[in-house]
């Protein structure tokens, strides 16, 4: 049986790129996303994959979806917490709901998934958890909510790594730099160009650039790597 990988926020962008790479490398991928039509369509493009409608903010829904994946697809070997949103605004204008929305999806969403999957991995003495953070975790103008959520992801990752290491479960974070996705294509052209100018390698990253690092961490080659924060940004953060 192929190992099973659950990827959240998988219908497009980086989540879909990660799902494609894992699928090519022999994983049975379960694509999870809030948008049913989108995630169904995405899954149709990856032979042998499954999909689930899932809002990662909903603690009980996450419990239910992870339980049905275990029952109907099989034991989850790899969890990729990728679902994320941004609501960028300068701090003096940022609203309470923009703060809550971003923290709920980006940070609580990852906690919800780890909370329900880690006990199963712990019991089986095997698992790989990969949390998608961001280069912005170190602070970025107009992204107080997003940066706080992504810094929180690093705290969650390092704590989970310490707790789960004795059970052969690794937990790592990836910080994408500037990656070609619907999220970055929404930026105004001047902001897009400003970001491009910060990349020493001179090209925007692809979702598959991130997917290949996920695949390494999920594989036997990454077995002794845990609690790490890996930049995938063409040198954007050095
Ligand atoms: P994206 O194109 O906006 O894709 C994000 C996906 O997450 C969408 O399919 C979205 O679905 C889904 N999603 C949103 N809220 C969700 C929820 N509550 N539950 C489940 N799924 C949800 O963004 P991306 O650029 O691929 O980003 C993927 C991850 O990488 C995010 O965590 C982001 O913060 C991080 N990241 C991206 C970059 C970059 O340069 N692109 C850089 C650093 C970090 P809907 O469209 O249906 O809402």
Cβ proximity of 29 and 23 under 8 Å: yes
Q: Which residues line ligand 1 (CB under 6 A)?
A: 8-9, 11-15, 33-35, 38, 54-57, 82-85, 105, 109, 132, 134-135, 176, 178-179, 181-184
Instruction: Give the pLDDT confidence score for residue 87 in this predicted structure.
Output: 97
Residue numbers of the chain with a pLDDT score lower than 50: none
Q: Domain-by-domain residue ranges, the chain?
A: 4-230
Angstrom distance (rounded) from CA 124 to CA 127: 8
pLDDT for the residue numbered 90: 98
User: Taking the model in full, what pTM does it have?
Assistant: 0.98
Span from the CA of 102 to the centroid of ligand 1 (angstroms): 11
Q: How do residues 58-95 score in pLDDT, each as one tens digit?
A: 999 999 999 999 999 999 999 999 999 999 999 999 99
Domain 4-230: which CATH class? Answer: alpha beta
């Amino acid at each position: 049986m192929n190992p099973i990988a659950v990827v959240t926020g998988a219908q497009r962008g980086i989540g879909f790129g990660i799902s494609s790479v894992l699928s090519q490398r022999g994983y049975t991928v379960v694509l999870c996303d809030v948008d049913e039509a989108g995630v169904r369509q995405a899954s149709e493009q990856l032979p042998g994959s499954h999909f689930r409608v899932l809002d990662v903010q909903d603690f009980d829904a996450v419990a239910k979806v992870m339980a049905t994946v275990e029952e109907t697809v099989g034991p989850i070997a790899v969890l990729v917490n990728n679902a994320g949103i941004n609501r960028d605004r300068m701090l003096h204008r940022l609203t309470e709901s923009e703060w809550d929305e971003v923290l709920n999806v980006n940070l609580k969403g990852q906690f919800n998934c780890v909370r329900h999957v880690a006990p199963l991995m712990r019991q089986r003495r095997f698992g790989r958890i990969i949390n998608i953070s961001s280069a912005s975790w170190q602070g970025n103008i107009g992204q107080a909510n997003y940066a706080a959520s992504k810094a929180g992801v690093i705290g969650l990752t390092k704590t989970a790594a310490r707790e789960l290491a004795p059970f052969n479960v690794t937990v790592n974070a990836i910080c994408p730099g500037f990656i070609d996705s619907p999220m970055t294509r929404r930026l105004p052209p001047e902001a897009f160009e400003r970001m491009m100018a910060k990349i020493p390698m001179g090209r925007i990253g692809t979702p598959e650039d991130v997917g290949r690092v996920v695949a390494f961490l999920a594989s036997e080659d990454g077995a002794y790597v845990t609690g790490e924060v890996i930049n995938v940004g063409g040198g954007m953060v050095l």
